[in-house]
Amino acid sequence: RLKELEVPKLGDSDVHVKMLAAPINPADINMIQGTYAILSPLPAVGGNEGVGEVLEVGSRVTALKPGDWVIPADAGLGTWRTRGVFPEDLLLKVPRDIPLLCAATLSVNPCTAFRMLADFETLAPGDSIIQNAANSGVGQAVIQIARASGLKSINVVRDRPDLPKLVERLMTLGADHVVTEEMLRKPEMKEIFKSIPKPRLALNCVGGKSTTEMLRHLQPKGTMVTYGGMAKQPVMVPVSAFIFRDVRLRGFWMTQWRKDHAQDQESVARMMDALCQLIQRGQLTAPACTEVPLQDYKAALEATMKPFVSSKQILLL
């Protein structure tokens, strides 16, 4: 529910932030449902991502000043609010010259896409990747970062009534091929691999049959990274894929990466700089968004949980 709270007193190392915009992500819903791997102590404010403007800083704060834009440095900040007072080390400064919606959706999906493309296989321009849930926030970021890096992308989506419209939107973002899950097991896939190499990297956000079919097209010794489970079904892998093709199965969780790199702020800064430069050059845009005033949060939460929604709900604060 929507509640009025007192803004806490500003401590020496604190930053008073006016939140500007915050998306609703699947992980936010899972946290509210109590099924996510991290849960905030109750009572809690929802929202793990967003952008705010610094209003005031404590006397010991050195890296931020009033007027700066900031995003959460980690999950669990509670961004669905109009104002908040946070310790300086829980915030990251971002440039003010990037679009508001890009900043609001920067800390989860683009970071996940960036890390998965960089950390599991050494990919060179001309190499290809394959991913399912290609119309998700991460999927859209993967398409654009891959294109900017000279990589080819094969993008798998579920069949739907407005499929041609979705295919066109993903191709406009830079997708090389868009196929449905049913097409993965059809001979037409051979046509695709006449012009591009088989992928060394597969990104899985679905699980179940979609994963098994996608795995067929992975190169020997290739890697499949699972970062979501939208089908709520286990990953099924034929024994032959392990024995004869030596495929590797890995997992990725952005929150864990941040924990592992808490003492390595240089890696975090390099990633954020790279992403902000892509945004400034127009090579990375925000996912398709629907902007919703905070008081209409119930409608936004309901819309997020509907199937086949390709637009991210963004609370305007």
Q: Does the structure show a pLDDT above 90 at 125?
A: yes
Query: Does the bond joining 87 to the residue before it have cis omega, within 30 degrees of 0?
Result: no
Please indicate, yes or no, whether the overall pTM of this predicted structure exceeds 0.85. yes
Place of tokens 């996912």: 287
Mean pLDDT for all residues in the chain: 95
Q: Which residues are catalytic?
A: 36
Q: Which of 316, 268, 310, 311 minimizes the C-alpha distance to 292? A: 316
Phi, psi of 311 (to 5 degrees): -115, 130
Q: What is the set of domains in the chain, with CATH numbers?
A: 14-105+286-316 (3.90.180.10), 108-255 (3.40.50.720)
Q: Does the structure show a pLDDT above 90 at 251?
A: yes
8 A C-beta contact, residue 226 and residue 211: yes
Query: Cβ–Cβ contacts within 10 Å for residue 5, how many?
Result: 11
Q: Does the structure show a pLDDT above 80 at 127?
A: yes
Question: pLDDT by residue (tens digit) across 6-53?
Answer: 999 999 999 999 999 999 998 999 999 999 998 999 999 999 999 999
